[in-house]
Amino acid sequence: MLDKNEIKKSDQSGKLKDTTVSAEEIARFDKMAEHWWDPNGEYKMALAFNEARVGYFIDNIAQHFGRRSDVQDCLADLRILDLGCGGGLVSEALAKRGATVIGIDASEVSVQVAKRHAIKSGLEIDYRNVLARELIAANELFDVVINAEVIEHVSDQKGLVKDCAKLTKPNGIVVLATLNRTIQSFFFGIVGAEYIMRYLPAGTHSWGLFVTPLELNSWASLSRLQLIEEKGMNYNPFKKAWKINNSLKVNYVQIYKKLTKSI
C-alpha cells in the first residue's frame, strides 16, 4: 500500500520520487471515492459516460487482437492494466468481457471502494494501491494498458505516458483518454459540467492540465507508441447519453500500438 506521507513529503520538497502523482489530487479523490458508483451522487455523470467509452474501448481491443466484440468473452486471456482505476468503472466492464484485469490507483480509498464493488458484482479483479513504477520495477507487462481520465490530474504527463508504454507488451495497445485544451473544453468541460449543470464536483478539473491530441501524440511517439485511431465524445443533454464522435474538441480517446520492446 502507498505511504501517503511519503507522497506528501516528496511533493512538498519538490523532489517527487514519482512525479506522476499529486498529493492534493489524490486527497480529493480519496474524499470523493465513496461516490464512484452512486447513480445519484457526485459522479452520476461518470456512469453514463462510462457506458459509451467502454463500448468503444472493447470494440478496439477485440479488433486489435482479432476477436469479435459481439462475443461475450471476447477479452478472455488478455491481461489488462487499468492505470488510475478509481472506483473500477472501466475495470469491471472489461472483467465482465473475460479480461484478466489489474486496477491500480494512488487513492487508497478508491481502491477499497473498487474492491468492495467487485465483490458485489461477483467479479475477480486484482486491485492494488500502488503506482506504475512498482509494476515497472517488478517487470510486469500487459497486453493492454488503459489510462482513462488520469492524465489531466498529474503534473508529469509525459512521464505517465512513458510509464504506460513501458508496461505494454510489444504489439499490445495503450488507450489514452483525456480532455483537450480548447475554448470548448473550458466552457463545456469546466464551466458547464462543474458549475452550471453540476455533472461533476466543482474543482475536479484544471484547464491548464488538459492536453491537446498533438501533445499526447508527440509524447506517445517518443515512447514508440503508434497512433491507431482517435475519437471524441459528446453529451446529448436531451437523451442524457454520451456518444463517440469525430470531434476531439472536448473529451477524446487515442488508441496506440506498442511498436517495440525497447523505449
Ligand X SMILES: C[S@@+](CC[C@H](N)C(=O)[O-])C[C@H]1O[C@@H](n2cnc3c(N)ncnc32)[C@H](O)[C@@H]1O
Q: Which residues are annotated as a binding site for S-adenosyl-L-methionine?
A: 53, 84, 105, 148
b/e per residue 139-161 (b: at least 16 CB within 10 A): eebbbbbbbbbbbbbbeebbbbb
Q: Does 150 contact ligand X by CB under 6 A? A: yes
Nearest distance in Å: CB 262, ligand X? 23
Cβ neighbours, 10 Å, residue 220: 22
In the sheet that 225-236 helps form, which strands lie side by side, from edge to edge? 126-128, 100-104, 79-83, 142-148, 168-179, 251-258, 225-236, 241-245
- Backbone phi, then psi, for 117, in 5-degree steps? -70, -35
The CB-of-189 to ligand X minimum distance in angstroms stands at 12
Q: Tell the smallest beta-carbon distance from residue 233 to ligand X (Å).
A: 12
Nearer to ligand X (CB atom), residue 25 or residue 143: 25
> Which of 49/248 has CB closer to ligand X?
49
Find the helix packing angle between 4-13 and 23-32, rounded to 10°. Answer: 140
Q: Are 81 and 147 in contact (CB under 8 A)?
A: no
20 binds ligand X (CB under 6 A): yes
Q: According to the binding rule CB under 6 A, does residue 154 interact with ligand X?
A: yes
Determine, following the binding rule CB under 6 A, whether residue 25 of this chain makes contact with ligand X: yes
Residue 99 binds to ligand X (criterion: CB under 6 A):
no
Kindly state the smallest distance separating residue 49's Cβ from ligand X, in Å.
8
Which 104-123 residues touch ligand X, going by CB under 6 A? 104-107, 110
List of residues contacting ligand X (CB under 6 A): 20-21, 25-26, 29, 46, 84-86, 89-90, 104-107, 110, 131, 148-150, 153-154
